């Protein structure tokens, strides 16, 4: 690849622009519900053992708590440095002898006030080590599943995948089904979506193709999820349905704390703790 720095900057600009559009749409939904909730943005710098890493980069945590979105975080970050020797061997293209990396991405998790509205997760990212690649995806996490919503969510991502490769959707859907599985519960975290990683950019042409696909993944999310929110956010719900939601959130928290690779990556690379753990729900129960 000719210039990873320039490519990282282009990816970062896209992730930040996607963040701005998503946050504006979510705030618009809050206005429609009669709420004046808005995102609060907190910048952070990469740290190691409590000290800021010089030239280590950082990010911005965006957080909103409203009437529709009980808690939603939309984070962007761009960090660089070296992995620990022990962790480097687990990352594509890194090793104890070559631990350097850059990473830029957007990560979103929304926990909804109404249990009929599905929770959701989405992220896309671009990383470089001795290799360079894109990863990401989106998955729907309804406490009370509706087949109509599941079909519509998957159809949007299938259309995005099919514009690039007819093999992408079945491959990445299966990857999501396999990844978002809670082994100790023997259940899936939600109703799936797509998940992909290591779309490698060996040259500029590969970068452009994979970057275009990653942008379409982001567009698919902003096209479909707000529609699902507006469809369900005015529905009445019972205390029993709210309890179902809180119990489901417990499963969600278990996955993110025990099995999620993104949580581990953030903790191992000096990320902001609050931004990393923004994926946890505001309230959950274990029966």
The verdict on whether 121 is a catalytic residue reads: yes
Catalytic entry in 7, 111, 116, 121: 121
73, 120 Cβ separation under 8 angstroms: no
Please give the C-alpha separations between residue 71 and each of 35, 64, 105, 116, 234, in angstroms, as whole numbers: 14, 6, 20, 15, 17
CA 221 to chain centre: 11
Question: Strand (E) positions, the chain?
Answer: 40-45, 47-48, 51-52, 57-64, 69-82, 100-112, 119-128, 132-141, 181-182, 187-188, 192-200
* C-alpha torsion 188→190→194→197, nearest 10: -60
Would the CA dihedral through 78, 193, 255, 133 be positive or negative? negative
Instruction: Give the catalytic positions in this structure.
Output: 121
């Amino acid at each position: 690849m000719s210039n990873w720095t320039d490519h990282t900057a282009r990816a970062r600009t896209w992730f930040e622009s996607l963040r701005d559009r998503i946050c504006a749409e979510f705030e618009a939904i809050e206005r429609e519900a009669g709420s004046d909730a808005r995102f609060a943005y907190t910048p952070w710098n990469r740290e190691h053992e409590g000290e800021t890493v010089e030239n280590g980069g950082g990010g911005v945590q965006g957080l909103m708590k409203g009437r529709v979105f009980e808690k939603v975080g939309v984070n962007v970050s761009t960090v660089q440095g070296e992995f620990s020797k022990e962790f480097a061997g687990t990352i594509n293209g890194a090793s104890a002898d070559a631990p350097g990396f850059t990473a830029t991405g957007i990560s979103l998790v929304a926990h909804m006030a109404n249990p009929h509205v599905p929770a959701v997760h989405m992220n896309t990212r671009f990383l470089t080590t001795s290799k360079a690649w894109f990863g990401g995806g989106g998955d729907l996490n309804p406490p009370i599943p509706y087949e109509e919503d599941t079909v519509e969510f998957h159809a949007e991502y299938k259309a995005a995948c099919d514009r690039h490769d007819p093999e992408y959707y079945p491959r990445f859907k299966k990857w999501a089904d396999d990844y978002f599985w809670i082994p100790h519960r023997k259940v899936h975290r939600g109703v799936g979506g797509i998940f992909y990683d290591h779309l490698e950019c060996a040259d500029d042409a590969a970068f452009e193709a994979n970057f275009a696909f990653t942008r379409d993944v982001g567009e698919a999310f902003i096209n479909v999820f707000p529609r699902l929110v507006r469809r369900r956010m005015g529905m009445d719900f019972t205390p029993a349905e709210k309890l179902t939601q809180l119990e489901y959130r417990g499963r969600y928290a278990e996955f993110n704390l025990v099995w999620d690779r993104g949580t581990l990556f953030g903790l191992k690379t000096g990320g902001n703790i609050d931004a990393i753990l923004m994926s946890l729900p505001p309230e959950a129960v274990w029966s």
